[in-house]
Amino acid sequence: MWNGIKSLITGGRSSREVAKGRLHLVLAHDRSGLEGGKLQEMRQEIAAVIARYVDIDANAVEISIESHSRETQLMVSSPLPARHA
């Protein structure tokens, strides 16, 4: 009962799950050694490169770091416009 009410308030996630999610994010960044500012700089440069080839909104390019079993990966995602030819 109380657990049910509590999960309604916290959006269904226990503090344990919240802690796990936060750790995954923090550790991915720590392990990469890239500070937040550097990552954003990199995002802008990558977006500029993509924009040279395709017509995209540079702000729609997203960058993130993920780490599982101590293996860390950089993820870049960008929308590609449909071809009208």
Binding status of residue 71 toward other proteins by CB under 8 A: yes
Phi-psi region of 57 (alpha: psi -120 to 50; beta: other; left: phi over 0): beta
What tokens does 55 get? 């017509």
> What are the two backbone dihedrals, phi and then psi, of residue 78, each rounded to the nearest 5 degrees?
-140, 135
Total Cβ atoms within 10 A of residue 47:
19
Binding status of residue 69 toward other proteins by CB under 8 A: yes
Query: What is the per-residue binding string for other proteins in 19-58, x denoting contact by CB under 8 A?
Result: xx-xxx-xx--xx---------------------------
What tokens does 4 get? 């049910």
Stretch that binds other proteins, among 35-43, 49-57, 68-76, 77-85 (CB under 8 A): 68-76
Q: How many residues bind other proteins, per CB under 8 A? A: 18
> Residue numbers of the site for other proteins (CB under 8 A)?
3, 14-17, 19-20, 22-24, 26-27, 30-31, 68-71
